[in-house]
Structure formats: C-alpha cells, structure tokens
Amino acid sequence: MSPLRSKSSLAGLWFLAFCALALAVSQHFELALCADARHATLRELVRAERDAEVVFVGSSQTARGVMPALFDQRAKELLGRDVRSVNLSTFGNARHISYLTLERWLERHPSPSVVYVECGVLSDVPEYPHKTLTRFGKPLDALAMAWERPYEFIDGREFVRFEKSGAGFDMGGIFHAWSVAQLNVDLALDVLGRGPEDCVRTLANFALERGASPYWMPGEPKMRAEIARQVEERGYFRIELDSAEGSEAHRSVEKQAAAVSYERALAAEWKGSDDFADPARFRVTRLYAEKLARLCRERGIRLVFLDQPNFRGRPLRPAQIAFYRSLGELFLQDKSVLYREESFLDSGHLSVAGAEFASRALAEHFATLK
Amino acid sequence: MAFNSTEFVCFFLLVYFGYWALARQRRASIVWLVLASCVFYAGWNVKFLGLILVSASLDWICGGAIHRSDSPRVRRAWLATSLIGNLGLLGYFKYFNFFAENIARGLAAAGFERASTFVPWDIVLPAGISFYTFQTLSYTFDIYRRQLAPARTPLDFFLFVSFFPQLVAGPIVRATDFLPQLDTPARHDEGRVARGLYRIVTGLAKKVLLADVIGKHLVDPVFADPAAHGAQGIALGCSGALFQFYLDFSAYSDVAIGAAACLGFELCENFERPFLAQSISDFWRRWHMSLSNWFRDYVFLPLGGRGAHRLEFLRNLMGTMLLTGLWHGAGWNYVIWGLMHGVFTFVGAAFGTPARREERAAPPLWERVARRAGVFGVVAFSMLFFRNGTLAEGNRGLAGSLEMLRLLCTLSPGTGAAVMSSAGLVALCVAALIHFTPRAWPHEVLRARWLALPAVAQGLCLCLFAGTLGALSYAKAPFIYFQF
C-alpha cells in the first residue's frame, strides 16, 4: 500500500479536515473564546444593541482617556440634542485590532457619523503584533495578514535590538524579509488553527456554565468590591490617584516631572531623525490607518485621528502629522492643561481628571464638526 | 518553530506527505528533509543557519581528513582543528560574556579600575548550538577512534547535523546510529508511524497538561517569592521544578522521537523513568541519557574513568560534572549544580553499594523505596540552583538560590502570603502517579486502544486533542531546554 494511503496518513488528512470544519463552525461563535478581559470587553461592546453617533478606537490610552458619558453630556450641552458615543478601545490594542474592531462594529450597527482613531508617539511605535490579534481575527483577516506582512518584529525585545544595532549582516535584506514573512505566516496560522480550540472552549463553557456566561474560565476580578462601589456611585470605574495602585503608577509621572519641566515640554518639538518618513518603517501603523481611512470613506464616516499624549514626552513627528492629515483630520489635545501631574495616572495614561478634561475637549471638537 | 504551535503542525504534515511521496527516490527524499530542516531552523533565526553550515562543513572536512590519514600527528591536528572550531563557536556564543564578566570583576577587584567598566556584549545565543555542536563533535571523535566511516555525501552529513526533530533540543544523536539509516531505502512501516504519532500526542499532552501547569501554578510562585512559602513550600517547589523539567524535556524528546519515527527514522531514547533511580549514577543513566552518554564516552572515560584510586575517580568525575553543568548554561548556578551532582555521584559510587543493577542482588522493597526517595530528594535539592539559573519566571540567580537555601536550612515557616494553587499540586500528583505506575498501564493499554481506532476516529481525536491543548495552554510556553 502507498504510504500516503496508510492509516496514519489518512488520520492526518482527517485531522486537517476536522480542523477546517471546526474553524468553519467556530466562525458562528462571535468572539466565543473570551480568554481575558480585553476579549470580553470587545465582545460586549461589539454586541451592544444601542447604536452610536461617535465611535472611539484605540489602545489603553483611549480606553482610559475617553469617558463616553462625559463626552455625550458635553456634546448635548453644546449641540442641544442627544449624542451617543461608544469607546471601543481596550488595553493593548494596536492599530490592526482597532481596524478589526471597527469592522465588527459596522457589521452590526449603522455607520456612526464620526470615528476617532488613536494615534500618537506611544501608539505608533511598536511594530510587533499583540496577542489579542489571534483572538479577534477571522480566517480572511489571517490570509490578508499572510499576504500583506504588516508585522516586522515578534516582540518588543527584538524591536529594541533592531533599533539598537540594525539588521546587521543581511544579504541584501533577504534575511529580514524571510523573518518578516515567517512571522506573519506564523501569526496567520495561529488564527487559522484556532477552530478546534474555539469549539472545545465553547463546549466546555456550555457544559460548565450551561451557556450562562460567554467567558472561558472566568477568574476572580481584581478589586471587585472597588469596581462595584465606583460603578454604583458614578457609573464607571477608574483607578484613582490616591489608591495604592494609582500612587504606584503615578511614580513614573513624578519621575518624568522632575526630569522635564512643564515649560520645556510644552515648547518641545520632535528632535532627531524623522523615522516615520521612511516608508519601510511603521508598516502596520500605516497600513491599517490607510485601511481605516478607506473603510470610513466607503461608509461616509468622518475620520479623526486623535493624538493621545504621553506625559511630558516626545511630540508627534512632522511626518506622522503629515501622514495623518493626508488621511483625515488630526485632533491634538491641549497639552497646556494635560501636562500637569494630576492629569496623568502614569506617564502614558490619563488620570480621571485628565480623562474628564480630554473627554470634554473632544466633545467640543465634535461640536465644531459639520 | 515550537512543537506546540499550529505552525509546526502544518509544517510537519507537509514534510510528512512530501517525504513519503518522494520516498522511492532516496536522494530526493534526503534533499527534502534537508530543506525542511533548514526551513524549521530558519523559523528561529535564519541568520544562524549559516552557523550550522559552518560547523557542519568544518567537521565534514576534518572527519574526511582524519579518515584518509594514517599519520597520528596529522590525525590529531585535524581533530584539534575540529575541537577548536566547534568549541570556539560554542565558547563565543554561549560563554564569552560569562567568562569576560568574571575576569573583568576579578581584575576590578585586583585594582584594575578600567575593567569595572566592562559592558557585556550583545550576543544572541543560536538555538540548539549546544546540541548540534556536540553531535558534530561526536562524528569527528568517532572517526578519529576508527569507530565510524565518514558520511557518504555532504548532504547525508548535513542531514545528520540538522535533522529537524532533534536539531534544537536533542536527543544528541550519534552518527554511528543515524548515518546507517540513510543507507537503507526508506520503508513506510505503518506500525512505527502510528506509534510515532501516538508518542507525539503523549509528548504534547505531557508538556501542556502537566509540565506547564506545574510550572505556572506551583514552581513559579515559589521561586518568585520563596520567603512567603517558607521551607515547606521551597521543598515542594524544588520537587515540582524537578518534575516540571523532566516532563518538559522528556516531552520534547517524545515529540522529536515520534516525529522522526513518522519519517521512518529511529532516534535514541533520552529518558528512562529517572525517578526510579536508586543512586545518583543510576539517575544519570536515566536522565538526559544522550548527553550523559556523550560526556561518559568523550570526557569521563578518556580522562581515565573510575581510575586506579578514589582520588583519580573524584578528579575525573568532578571534571565531567563541571562540564555537564556548564553545558547547561554559562552561570555559577550551573557550575554549582554540576559540582553538587559530582559530589553526590562520587559519594554514592565510591562509598555506597555497587551502583549497577546487575552487580548486586535486588534489595528489599523498603530499601528500594528509601533509595529512590533519597535520590529524588537530593536531585530536587539541586534544583534550588538549577532552576534559578534558567530564564524561567522568578529566576533570582545565585543570590536567590542562597537565600532559598537559607530559608530551607532555617526551616522558615513562611510569611503566610503563599500563592500556590491546587492545580499545580494536582498536576504534580498525576505526574508522579503516571511516573511510578508500571509501564504496562496506562501507557501500553492506551497505546493499544489508540492503534485500534479507525483513521477517521484518530483524526477526530487529534482535532479534539489539539483544541483541548490550545484551550489549556498558557500562551504557548516554550520548551525549557531551548535555552540550553
């Protein structure tokens, strides 16, 4: 008998067939495997029944830095009518996930009038994928990724190494091109191979929770009592500056405040080479900004890029500003207010006070849009 | 390309079907495997593929020259060339920073202030370098000893060095075992392939369901905060770490041996239920066997083996164990770990009853149990140093090991803030139960049942198994021995 028709070979082929079937079936469980809070948040947000006029997408900077309730309230004051916004940002979301999030939202809801997409020095730096990707992409997204090869580095360590010493011996770029292709194929296969995992998780969830909870092995949330108290009192949860977690995080702000004065930070301009101008760099940032712009254009949505500042850090590069302005509008927050210590929880994220200011400022910007 | 990834599953299926499609043309099938091995390694770091090529070419040339020459001087010169070349590469990539840092520290202490400004070089350790370097060295040594004829073609030799199942973390295959398999036509033996597939499945299960759970829920918390867990917790953590390392590494070996079997190759075994060992030397005959056999054959015996008297034995043993420790990593933790094993082995072998099973009558059950417990305890104790030398979470280096030793010796009760979870303990108990259960059950019963299933049921089981492993795996934790 031919080796290819042996029992083990057939078992291998059946395995592939079952995996493909599982992948096809799992497409019906929207975000079935909410393996952590981010997936769960996205799932809930995307499934929310209410539509929105304004949508925010981005990373933890926007998740913490924009408060939809305050935005809605201020917009109502200014426009004299109800405005509803939704913040679809979750921690660790790179631009790619923002794009996928918006796509999923638009599959279930009418187009909003405005979409704010986070950009900024912190959002645009890492050119490596985030773990959320494999939990949020669909097979077609995976194939597109293998084809487009947006990611260059597997993690931050490799990125830093590359920044420090360059590609080194690279045979005319062949080695780097191979690594990039291999990384993206690997990521795509992770998405394509998740079908059996999704099915097993869903089955286990059904058996254990009788379908009551969509989440896989929910862990005990940290600070459950504090979250409940704050939600009861004011409708949302934020880490307060005077809490243990808040003061721990705030140390980076104090350190930065000691190193860079308020005046110096306000006057700062981008120094050094403008690496954003190099078309070979920031591939994932550019690619998915362009895709977002295309998506918004097709749906008649106004696209605004929202610069999320870091505390007294580096400003946007000139090429970054030009790039975003070529795709849509760019909204810059008023740093003269935000560069105060109480506005930031840590050097990358706004505090409650900072988020309140930023949300109102955004509503004021929204009110000026025609 | 980790074995526990979708990428590897797709890669392996492609290699498997391609290989058996080409199996009638032996050359073509070998070229296919070489290409597959290159792609596999390029998944780690494509640049270091050149390093394997350099290492392999060096030994191909040296091996051939040694074989052709009859002059002892010329033969020795070629052997030295191979040794210097291979150990030079290994020394640069793995040990340069360790030795340079320690020399700089020594010089700074002696008053040379400039030495204190030494900054470690940014050297990336190529995956598997310790494994393939030892493989190529064994090839040259065996030719030098006239125990082996050179490989017929450079392609055969390159496949021996780079064969993907064992390239990154062993077993360290000998050319005497591997090369003859290339001389015979590839024959698809369904029984062997099916057993190989079963072995891959059990290896992955061992890794994800036991090793990773023990590591995450039992070992990591203890090593991250030993003061909170106290002496009892540390003792448990060390036992857990020993089981974790065994399960993780033997799982890798299982997948490697199983994958090779699916392609019709036989690789040497690497573990033989090590916790059944009744002495430390017996332990080393059961633990990472391909490495301990390598050191025995190429270091310990050439040094003189047990020698004429105990001091000679001690010297040879300590030298070998020091190198064994250093092979695992460039750090004082590994040096101490190796020397500890040297001392334990020496004490057991020089003053105890004969270690070889065939040399002594079977001891009574209580003695066997006591001996096994003793060996396990001693090896688990050495994990205090070994685990803190690895890159695993909570690694606190030599200072951490000494601190844990202090807590252990003072029978510290712990601060009561321990965060060990029951999942780790359950996994440890299951692992121990499986390890100490007679081989006929459950391994052979399960395997027989697996082999009896029709192909479609095997495919379905594999799919469910992949899904379960995916759902339970902790962010695809890498195999621990990759870092060695």
Reported ipTM? 0.83
**Amino acid A44: pLDDT:** 75
What is the Cα Rg of chain B in Å?
23
Same domain, B213 and B113: no
Q: B13 CB near a chain A CB, below 8 Å?
A: yes
Distance of CA A156 to the CA centre of its chain: 16
Same domain, B197 and B51: no
Asked if A12's CB is within 8 angstroms of B17's CB, the reply is yes
**Amino acid B483: pLDDT:** 61
**Amino acid B460: pLDDT:** 93
Higher pLDDT, A272 or B311: B311
Q: B24 CB near a chain A CB, below 8 Å?
A: no
> Could you tell me the pLDDT band of residue B324, with boundaries at 50, 70 and 90?
very high
> Could you tell me the pLDDT band of residue A31, with boundaries at 50, 70 and 90?
low
Is B59's pLDDT higher than 90?
yes
Q: State the DSSP H helix or E strand holding residue A283, giving kind and residue range, or none if neither.
A: helix A283-299
Same domain, B153 and B26: yes
- Where is average pLDDT lowest: A212-216, B5-9, B249-253, B273-277? A212-216
Is A362's pLDDT higher than 90?
yes
Helix (H, G, I), strand (E, B) or coil at A118: strand
What is the span of the domain harbouring residue B91?
6-187
Rounded CA-CA distance B87/B55 in Å is: 10
Q: Which of B217, B229, B288, B328 is catalytic?
A: B328
Same domain, B156 and B179: yes
Same domain, B60 and B197: no
Rounded CA-CA distance A78/A117 in Å is: 22
Is B469's pLDDT higher than 90?
no
Closest chain B CA to residue A195: B467
Going edge to edge, which strands form the sheet with A85-87? A85-87, A54-57, A114-119, A302-307, A329-332
Same domain, B214 and B183: no
Measured between CA atoms, how close is A59 to chain B, in angstroms? 21
**Amino acid B293: pLDDT:** 93
Any domain includes B420: yes
> Could you tell me the pLDDT band of residue B436, with boundaries at 50, 70 and 90?
confident
Higher pLDDT, A139 or B476: A139
Burial of B386 (0-12, 13-18, 19+ CB in 10 A): buried
Same domain, B150 and B241: no
Measured between CA atoms, how close is B321 to chain A, in angstroms? 34
Percentage of chain A exceeding pLDDT 90: 29
The per-residue pLDDT for range B114-152, each reduced to its tens digit, is 877 888 887 888 888 899 999 999 999 999 999 999 999
Any domain includes B310: no
Helix (H, G, I), strand (E, B) or coil at B215: helix
Q: What angle do CA B345, B346, B351 make, to 5 degrees?
A: 110
Any domain includes B65: yes
**Amino acid B137: pLDDT:** 92
Average predicted confidence (pLDDT) for chain A: 84
Residue window 350-379, chain B: list those with CB within 8 Å of chain A: none
Higher pLDDT, B23 or A300: A300
**Amino acid B457: pLDDT:** 94
Same domain, B120 and B248: no
With beta carbons less than 8 A apart as the criterion, state whether A87 and A62 touch. Answer: yes
Any domain includes B287: no
- Where is average pLDDT lowest: A116-130, A174-188, B174-188, B312-326? A116-130
Domain C-terminal end among B187, B222, B238? B187
Same domain, B370 and B222: yes
**Amino acid A122: pLDDT:** 76
Same domain, B174 and B201: no
Any domain includes B337: no
First to last CA, chain A: 73
Helix (H, G, I), strand (E, B) or coil at A15: helix
Is B482's pLDDT higher than 70?
no
Residue window 119-178, chain B: list those with CB within 8 Å of chain A: 122, 124
Is A167's pLDDT higher than 80?
no
Is B423's pLDDT higher than 80?
yes
Same domain, B168 and B198: no
Average pLDDT estimate for B4-26: 89
With beta carbons less than 8 A apart as the criterion, state whether B138 and B86 touch. Answer: no
Handedness of CA B294, B263, B127, B39 (dihedral sign): positive
Domain C-terminal end among B156, B187, B218? B187
With beta carbons less than 8 A apart as the criterion, state whether B399 and B332 touch. Answer: no
> Could you tell me the pLDDT band of residue A32, with boundaries at 50, 70 and 90?
low
Q: A197 CB near a chain B CB, below 8 Å?
A: yes
Higher pLDDT, B186 or A70: A70
Any domain includes B86: yes
With beta carbons less than 8 A apart as the criterion, state whether B221 and B418 touch. Answer: yes
Residue A114, beta-bridge partner list: A54, A302
**Amino acid B474: pLDDT:** 60
Distance of CA B136 to the CA centre of its chain: 16
Closest chain B CA to residue A183: B43
Query: By C-alpha distance, which of B297, B315, B319 is closest to B307?
Result: B315
Asked if A201's CB is within 8 angstroms of B471's CB, the reply is yes
First to last CA, chain B: 16
Average pLDDT estimate for A316-345: 90
Mutating which of B29, B47, B208, B451 best tests the A interface, going by the most A Cβ atoms within 10 A? Answer: B47
Distance of CA A87 to the CA centre of its chain: 11
Asked if B468's CB is within 8 angstroms of A11's CB, the reply is no
B188 has catalytic annotation: no
Asked if B47's CB is within 8 angstroms of A201's CB, the reply is no
Average pLDDT estimate for B347-368: 70
Q: What angle do CA B136, B142, B143 make, to 5 degrees?
A: 95
**Amino acid B338: pLDDT:** 92
Any domain includes B28: yes
Same domain, B154 and B213: no
Q: What is the tally of structural domains in chain B? A: 2
Average pLDDT estimate for A205-213: 73
Any domain includes B20: yes
Percentage of chain A exceeding pLDDT 70: 89
Q: Which amino acid is at B467?
A: G
Mention every residue, 6+ apart, whose C-beta is less than 8 A from residue B227. B403, B407, B412, B414, B415
Higher pLDDT, A41 or B10: B10
Average predicted confidence (pLDDT) for chain B: 87
Is B358's pLDDT higher than 60?
no
Average pLDDT estimate for B244-255: 93
